[in-house]
A and B are shown apart, each in its own frame.
Chain A
Amino acid sequence: MKIHEYQAKEILARYGVPTPNGRVAETAGEAVKAAAELTLPIAIKAQVHVGGRGKAGGIKLARTTDEVGSLASAILGMNIKGSVVRKVLVESGVDIRQEIYLGLIVDRASKHIVLMASAAGGVEIEEVAAQTPEKILKVSLKRHLGMPAYVARQTAAFLGLPPAAGRPFAAIAQGLYRAFIECDCSLAEINPLVVTGDGGLIACDAKMNFDDNALYRHPEIAALRDEGEEEPLETDARRHRVSYVKLDGRIGCLVNGAGLAMATMDVVKHFGGAPANFLDIGGGAKPEQVVEALRIITADPNVNTILFNIFGGIVRCDRVAEGILIAQQKLNLKLPIVIRLSGTNEELARDMLKDAGLIAMPTMSEACKKAVEISQR
């Protein structure tokens, strides 16, 4: 799960990371009011989850209080890569001497939390990694050692920080680490961590992503979710515990199992079609899940064909077929439905579906091919 910059800064501030004085505003009026308590120049920053908002014009600097209102109203409502700006962060400007990158991630390859730091801050770290990887320091942090002070010192030395910044830097690195562990992050980064004109350190931008599997033990973080940033159908699906990702094709796919669901999309593409979505109804393909899944898929107006791919396994196919027929009636579906069911009682299931006028195919490839053919008619 992702959160906004202002939320990440609030969390990090609780862990002793210094951040600029700022307020969130949802209207230009609120922004002007907030500015009265801040010092000029004032940064106005779009609060959206997508990256690259600076380049898209979502970050502006107001030199006068008068400018705050006009800049805020220009940014609010702006569409940045599909995200509409509903909030801006209004912040006291900072005297920037140097911009540093400091981040922690769960590194899948090494199975450690890895600290990454670079003196080339202020740009996306992926860019630095691609162009000048030697400018990035990576340190694997052993879980039982945490973030030792010496690692912070080594990092400060790599970054070439002034000696006086050593202790504040260690406090920031250790605060970031504690936040990472205590909040179950998958990523936490400060970019840029600014060295100010007088040698101080301040986190001017922050990003935190959380492990969805751990949200159950952090209700206060789960409550920070901004559903306005999500595809509405994906929000709907998540609430019904259906795993769904919207794409832009015409074939609505319902599959049991995530790997098979991806493979089904790929095979649809292989035969020249375009999947409308990823959808995993779970290994068991329970009837009530089928109803919810069909409702969500058919709410997408692009969908002109529905493709089921169910590998029955232990589940009985006739019961899945029953669920599909109930769902079709309940939702009064008129769209063509192609179904592949494989497993226990599959012949019985295919007969039931054919009797109801649905297209039952014996294999995954044949079903995908048929769905592509129908969707292109």
Chain B
Amino acid sequence: MSILVDEHTRLIIQGITGNEGQFHGSQMIAYGTNVVGGVVPGRGGETCLDRPVFDTVSQAVAATGANASVIYVPAAFAADAALEAIDTGLPLVVIITEGIPTLDMMTVYWEARHRGTVVIGPNCPGVISPGKAKVGIMPGHIHRPGRVGVISRSGTLTYEIVNELTTNGLGQSTCIGIGGDPIVGTSFVDALRMFAADPETDAVVLIGEIGGTDEEVAAEYVKAGFRKPVVGFIAGLTAPPGKRMGHAGAIIAGGKGTAAEKIAALAAAGIPVAQRPDQVAGLVKQALGQK
């Protein structure tokens, strides 16, 4: 098993005809993801990547039986695209787009909660269950099927750590990029809950960064009875306060959200925290009792 995406995922791509949609669409298909179609308003009836294109998500779902969507739509239109996917009743919507206004995302967040839709992102690399399905923009080849779950707010930093896991013989059940924005659809705790229920995930790597308190909330959750080993890494110990470090959500505001606070919270929950990305795999092995 794995979580969120697997061989049963029937994926539509919102924004399939754009540069990003086409490039990553072809990469996802090459990885073996079952991409069943695309949605681009005004382009219904065309084909793209040998898949049918529809004007609306509901048309796409009716014709293809899709059960998930990935969004590569530009920031100004991405929240609307997500609301459309949620309205259609799709259980999973992955938003890759960076730069969505926070208030728009707030609307998407609450609509998704009311409808029971899982939203991943925005501003994230997506979700991959190695060997089964890749929904997003991450390089598929660095992943291996296995039993470690990964949850991260970042993109390339996740690849760095996944690559270390893989070269150290630790495959992954599912890797989730939850996104670098202040408001994201799925939090660390939401993702930990899913991994808790997955019998094929033995340990979880949690990759956080400065800004917000999501890591602290996750630490509390783990302390309260998460039964699988968790290993952490937090980026941004050297980040100055009040400055946005690339990601919209990576900012120490009003003295809150520092890496030191997060590391302390994780440590207090008994979670070993790596000082460098290349120490994560070793800590996972230790936690699993491997040498």
Contacts and interface: CB of A to CB of B under 8 A. Distances in A.
Interface residues of B, number: 61
Contacts of A108: 182-183, 211-214, 249
A214 B101 contact: yes
A314 B240 CA distance: 31
Interface in B144-175: 152-160, 163
A113 B183 CA distance: 12
A247 B278 contact: no
Interface stretch (A69-77, A167-175, A254-262): A254-262
A308 to B, nearest CB: 13
A260 B160 contact: yes
A186 B76 contact: no
B180 A263 contact: no
A364 B235 CA distance: 14
A236 B240 CA distance: 19
A59 B92 CA distance: 53
B100 A213 contact: yes
A118 B82 CA distance: 37
Nearest to B103: A184
A336 to B, nearest CB: 21
B237 interface: yes
B157 to A, nearest CB: 3
B75 A213 contact: yes
Contact of B277 (A113, A126, A364): A364
Size bracket of the A interface = 35 or more
Contacts of B76: 216-217
B71 interface: no
B1 interface: no
B237 A106 contact: no
Contacts of B246: 243, 257-259, 261-262, 278, 280
B97 to A, nearest CB: 10
Contacts, number: 162
B102 A269 contact: no
A199 interface: no
Contact of A186 (B100, B102, B211, B250): B102
A20 interface: no
Contacts of B240: 245, 247
Given A257-B157, A259-B158, A260-B160, A126 B275 contact: no
B227 interface: no
Nearest to A129: B254
Contacts of B291: none
Q: Name the residue in B109, B163, B246 with the highest tally of chain A Cβ atoms < 10 Å from its Cβ.
A: B246
Contact of B250 (A217, A262, A269): A262
A137 to B, nearest CB: 17
Interface in B224-279: 233, 235-240, 243-250, 254-255, 259, 275-278
A258 B181 CA distance: 12
A276 to B, nearest CB: 11
Contact of B243 (A113, A245, A260, A268): A245
Contacts of A311: 156, 159-160, 163
A267 interface: yes
B137 to A, nearest CB: 8
B205 to A, nearest CB: 13
B182 A278 contact: no
Nearest to A285: B156
A224 to B, nearest CB: 17
Nearest to B207: A259
A259 B248 CA distance: 12
A262 to B, nearest CB: 4
A275 interface: yes
A259 B180 contact: yes
A153 B276 CA distance: 52
A314 B139 contact: yes
Contact of B138 (A275, A313, A363): A313
Nearest to B259: A266
A247 B236 CA distance: 13
Given A259-B247, A263-B160, A106 B155 contact: no
A108 B217 CA distance: 12
7 contacts: A143-B107, A186-B102, A212-B244, A262-B210, A263-B160, A265-B239, A311-B163
Interface of B: 27, 75-76, 99-104, 106-107, 109-110, 137-139, 142, 152-160, 163, 180-183, 207, 209-214, 217, 233, 235-240, 243-250, 254-255, 259, 275-278
Given A109-B214, A269-B237, 18 more contacts: A108-B213, A126-B254, A143-B110, A186-B182, A211-B101, A211-B102, A213-B181, A213-B248, A214-B101, A216-B75, A217-B76, A217-B101, A258-B250, A259-B180, A259-B247, A283-B156, A311-B156, A313-B142
